[in-house]
Amino acid sequence: MTETGSRLSGLECRACCTTTDADSVHGTCPTCGHALFAAYTTRDMDGRSWLAHLTDRPATLWRYAELLPLRRTSSIASLGEGVTPIVRLGEAPGSPGITLLAKDDGGLPTGSFKARGMAVAVSRARELGLTDLFVPSAGNAGVALAAYAARAGLRARIYLPERTPKPMVEHASTYGAEVFRTPGTIKEVGETARSRETARGAFDMSTLREPYRLEGKKTMGFEIFEQSRALGAVPDAIVYPTGGGTGLVGMGKAFDELAALGLIERRPRLIAVQPEGCAPVVRAIREEAPRVVPWADPRTIAPGLLVPAPFASERILEAVRSSRGTGATVTDRSIVAAMRSLAVRHGLFVSPEAAAPYAALPELRARSAIRSGETVLLYLTGSGLPFSIEELETSVADRVSG
C-alpha cells in the first residue's frame, strides 16, 4: 500500500493489450501508439467500506485516492478542485415528466472541468520527475495546465488556435506559461506543437496522449455516483458536450470501476453532443463506424468543441456504445439561445460548450433518446465568464447572413 493508499498497478492498452509499468514515464502505448489506461488492484478492496469512509474526507477529488494514480501526498499539486454541485432544474423544456439535473464544473479553480484532468496529470508528472510540459488546447485545458504547472513548480508551454478568446490567452500567460497562438483548428495546432516540442524533449499533456488526465476526468463519474445517493438514484442519462471526448471515456471508466467494486448495477446512458459544424463523433455513432473520420471544414462558436479528429476515438465510441448511449447535434444558434436560457431561467452562466447539452434536449426528446419518467443530468463543463452572449449572437448572425 502506498502513502496515499493508491492501488495503481500498471498501465494497459485496450487496443493491443500491452501492459507496462506505471512508475516509468509513458505517453501513448509503446507497442501500437494508442491510449494507455491506469489499472488498479481492487480484488481485495471492500467497496462498501470505501464508500462509507468518503464522507469523512475533504470535499475535493482527492477523496478518491485509492483509485487515483498518486502514490505520495507530497506530489499532489492541488487548488481545491472538486466536488462541484448538482443543481435541480425541474422539468425539461417542452418535455413534461423528464427531470433535469445539472452538474456545474464552472466553479472549479480554472473555470472548467479541465482542472480535474490537469490537477491529476500535473501532479503525477511531478511525481515521475518531469519538469517541462506542453499542450495544444482550445483554451480551457491550456489555462488549467498553466495554473497547475505553476502550482507544481513546472514549466509549461501552451499552444492555442488564433481564434481563442482573448481572456483565455491572457489567463494562461498570467500563470507564467509561455503561450503561442497558431493558425488552424486544434488538429493543426497539435501538429505544430508536437513538431516544435519533439527536439526539446517536453512531455505532451494532450487529451488521451498521456494516461493521467483521464484519471482526473474519471472523478466526474465518481462524484455523480456519490451525489446521486443523496438525490435518490443515479441519473438515467448524462448529456455531455463532446470535443476531445475524454470526459465520456473517464465517466465510463469510473462506472466500470464502481461496478467492479459492487457499488453500481445500472449505469447511466452517455449521450455525446456536438455542433452541426463539427460532429465527427456523432456521425460515427450514427453510422456505426468503428472510429471517427476527420471532419472537413469544421466550424462552431464553441472553441472546445472544434475538434475535427479526436485522438483515440475508438475509446470514445466504446464508452457511448457500452452505456447504450447515443449522440445529438445542435446548431450554433441554439447553443447561444441555450446559454441565455440557462442564465435567465436558472441563474447559470455557462460557456457555449456547456450550453450544448441543454440545446440538445428537444432533439433527444423527439427521438425518445430521453423519455418521460427519467432523470437526465446535463454536464455543464465550464463558466461563461470568458464569453459575451451578445458577441456570440452577432457572430452567428454574421455567418448566416454571409
pLDDT digits (tens, 9 = 90+) for 324-355: 999 999 999 999 999 999 999 999 999 999 99
Contact 133, 145 (CB under 8 A): yes
DSSP state of 271: E
Q: Which H/E stretch holds residue 270?
A: strand 269-275
> 373-400: buried (b, 16+ CB within 10 Å) or exposed (e) per residue?
ebbbbbbbbbbbebbebeebbeebeeee
- Please give the CATH topology (third level) of the domain spanning 114-204: Rossmann fold (3.40.50)
pLDDT tens, residue by residue, 148-184: 999 999 999 999 999 888 888 898 999 999 999 999 9
pLDDT tens, residue by residue, 24-42: 999 999 999 999 999 999 9
Can you read off the three cell numbers belonging to residue 52?
A: 462509507
Highest CATH level, class, for 86-112+211-401: alpha beta
pLDDT tens, residue by residue, 79-131: 999 899 999 999 877 778 999 999 999 999 999 999 999 999 999 999 999 99
Can you read off the three cell numbers belonging to residue 127?
A: 511525481
CA distances from 155 to 133, 134, 177, 189, 209 (A): 6, 8, 7, 19, 19
Decide: helix, strand or coil at residue 11. Answer: strand
Gap between the Cα atoms of 264 and 243, Å rounded: 27
What is the average pLDDT score of the chain? Answer: 95
Locate the domains of the chain by residue range: 8-69, 86-112+211-401, 114-204
Gap between the Cα atoms of 151 and 140, Å rounded: 17
DSSP state of 400: H
Gap between the Cα atoms of 279 and 127, Å rounded: 37
pLDDT tens, residue by residue, 369-391: 999 999 999 999 999 988 889 88
CA distances from 283 to 209, 251, 303 (A): 23, 21, 19
Looking up cell 471492500 gives 46
* 86-112+211-401 and 114-204 share one fold: yes
Q: How many residues does the chain have?
A: 402
Helix axes 213-231 and 114-127, enclosed angle (nearest 10):
130
Q: What is the separation of C-alpha 49 from the centre of its chain, rounded to a whole number of angstroms?
A: 28
List Cβ neighbours of 145 (8 Å cut-off, separation of 6 or more). 118, 122, 133, 135, 137, 156, 158, 172, 177, 205
* CB burial of residue 363 (10 Å; 0-12, 13-18, 19+): middle
- Of the candidates 246, 243, 217, the one whose C-alpha atom is nearest the C-alpha of residue 351 is 243
